[in-house]
Structure 1
Amino acid sequence: MKLIFASNNKGKIAEVQTLVNNNLKIFSLLEAGITEPIKEPFDTFRENAWAKADYVYRQTGLPCFADDSGLVVPALNGAPGVYSARYAGEPADDAANNRKLLAAIEAMDAPEAYYQAVICYIGDDGTHYFEGRCYGHLVHIPRGTGGFGYDPLFVPNGYTDTFGELAQDIKNRISHRSEAMRSFIAFLNQPEQ
């Protein structure tokens, strides 16, 4: 089965491809021939995931999915939230986003945070959503070079290493995206009615 992932984020694409079985080939936006940026005009992960998936489905007519995900810090009223990728402004820059977040939590002691992912799938049978969360806390000194985004600052509950330090197979088991992807893959693997 060919499935378009409405993303050109190499980190996300690699992470997602490791989560699916060999029967499912994930294609990026670029591989699907979509080169223009897709707008994310909404204030919720769910609506932004839908906006991206809907655009790709209308352009290609092929089954596709999009995720919108980010880091939520309750003590910062949910920031960076849906603006996680552009928290420090455009163009998106992980290092600048991390610096801004570190400045915002400077006076806080290991603030609680969670990653949230929402996947929107659009196919011939309609629109479906799948969600995942990974709870933890933030550290004040970035640790590790793995992952992307805020991974060097985020320590998931039950661990002492950041997502930037954890082995990819561990992150794939516990991440917000893997939780949402497991639900999505279970849906795709259902026998046809």
Structure 2
Amino acid sequence: MLNLLDEKVSPCGLVINTSKTKVMRNPFSPSVPVLLRGSPIDDVEEYIYLGSQLNMENGLSGELMRRRKAGWAAFNSIRNETSDLTYEQLAEVFHDIDTIDGAVEIANTLYTNLSFFRILRSVTTDPGRIGYDLSIWNNSKLESIDGAVLPIWLDVLIVSNPLLALDCTHILKYYSDMRRIRGNKNNCGEHHSVTKTNP
């Protein structure tokens, strides 16, 4: 049947690419080789077609692993808190960014301040998102968050920063009633109207 299809489409200029054509079999299929122009087509257990991995068991584990690897490859340029980026490098990265669409999380760092965020003016949030808009937690040397103090209505989590002395006037004025603030050098009134996720 494949040879007949190849024969009929050839006059139109269409050619079946034998390197991209694969055979997948279910347990009930005979193991007779499939030939195209006298050459056998590869038998495979799984195949990537139109960006998705297909297999006869309809299992998703291979596809999920493939996408996870692709995601890490795409975002490999993003450095985590164990990196050795200097304040100058962070300031350069955030130099032209005045709005972040999503959430900001600063966790497990050794930074003493967040001055590299000074240009940031706004965090655009999704009302349907679960979690905090601004999370600053578990930063053992953080003394000031002046760079991350935003004059906008945010749900905030500021916890477990033992050296952090907060400006309570700003926090009580600008940040929403959804705030969790504790475990810092000084805290500014914790208020919860809805349960959010913990770090």
TM-score by length of 1: 0.22
Larger Rg: 1 or 2? 2
TM-score by length of 2: 0.22
Instruction: Name the structure with the higher helix share.
Output: 1
Larger RCO (CA under 8 A, 6+ residues apart): 1
